[in-house]
Amino acid sequence: MPTTSLHNQTVLVTGGTGSFGQQFVRTLLARHNPRRVIVFSRDELKQHDLRTQLPDPRLQFFLGDIRDRDRLYRAFQAGVDVVVHAAALKQVPACEYNPFEAVKTNILGAQNIIDAAIDCRVSKVLALSTDKAVSPANLYGATKLCMEKLFVHGNSYAGGRTTAFACVRYGNVVGSRGSVIPLFLGQRETGRVTVTDARMTRFWITLEQGVEFVIGCIAQMRRGEVFVPRIPSMNILDLVAAVAPHCTVEHTGIRPGEKLHETLISVDEARHTRSFEDRFIIHPESPSWDRRGEPLGTPLPEGFHYSSDTNDQWLTTEELQTMIRRFHNGSA
C-alpha cells in the first residue's frame, strides 16, 4: 500500500478529543511531520487536557460543533489540506432516546463538513464510519449510513473542484469510550459480568490499528471509496474469559437495536468491492466515476458478505488478553 502523504500538510480532525482523535493526533505529530494539526471539538476541558499533555507548537485547537456551519467555515479557512471526520454521537441508547440530536450531528453535521470543505478548497476529506451502518438495526447505524452516502456523493457536489471525499468503515474499537472492555473490567470487581447473548460476535480493532489504517487510506483515496480493513472477529464469551475468567456470567437478553453479528460488507456491496491483502475497497456504483489509475484488486465471489460470524480470522483468548493488557496499561 502507498506511503502516507501528510508531511508538511495542515490536517484538521473533527472530534479530535475523542478516543480516536487523541490517538490520531499523537501518531500524526510523532511520525508524520505535519505542518499543523487542528483539533476541532466541543469540550474545552478535554482540549485543555490534550494541550497540556502535548505541548507541541504545531497543535492548534478550535472550539466548535459540526452543527455550526459558520464555525466549520472559519476553521477550514485556516489553510486546511486534509480533514479527518471523527465527530459523532455514537452511543446507541442515547441516539435512540434523542433521535433529533443524532440526526443533527451525524447527518446534518456531515453535510456542513462537505459544504465547508468544497467551498474552502480542502484537498481530501476522510470520514469514519462503522459496521453498524450496514443493514442498520438502530438509529445510530442509520445516521452513519446516511453519512456515508453523503460523503460518497459529496464528490458530485464538488464538481470541477479538487476536493475529494471517501470513508473508512470498521468494527468495535478495543477500549474506546463506551467499549465493553471498560464495562467488564468494572464488573469484574463484583464477581459478575453481564452478557446480552452468548452467541454474539463482533469485529475487533485496536485504536492504533484504526489510526494507521486511516492514515494509509488518506494516501490511497481518490474519491468515493469506502475502505474496509481485514480485521479479526471475537466471540463475546471468549472476551469474558479473557477479561474476567473467574466471574459468573449473567445473560440479560439482547437489547433493542442490537445485532447478534455485525457486517462490514453486504452481499449487494460485494458486487462492486475489490479485495486486497489487508483491506477491501467498496467503489461507488455510479458509472460516472473515473476508474483510471485505481488499484485493480480481486473481485469478490458471488454471494460474498463480510460478517463477524463467518470471518476467517478469529482472536484467541490469549490475543484478547494481550490487547486488554495494552489497553489497561495505556489507560492507567
**Residues annotated catalytic, as ranges:** 132
Instruction: Mention every residue, 6+ apart, whose C-beta is less than 8 A from residue 35.
Output: 8, 9, 10, 58
Sheet holding 172-173, edge to edge: 172-173, 201-205, 233-235
CA-CA distance, 263 to 272, in Å (whole number)? Answer: 16
User: Are the beta carbons of 158 and 195 closer than 8 angstroms?
Assistant: no
| Burial of residue 29 (number of CB atoms within 10 Å: 0-12, 13-18, 19+) | middle
b/e map of 184-216 (b: 16 or more CB within 10 Å)?
bbebbeeeebebeeeebbbbbbbbeebbbbbbb
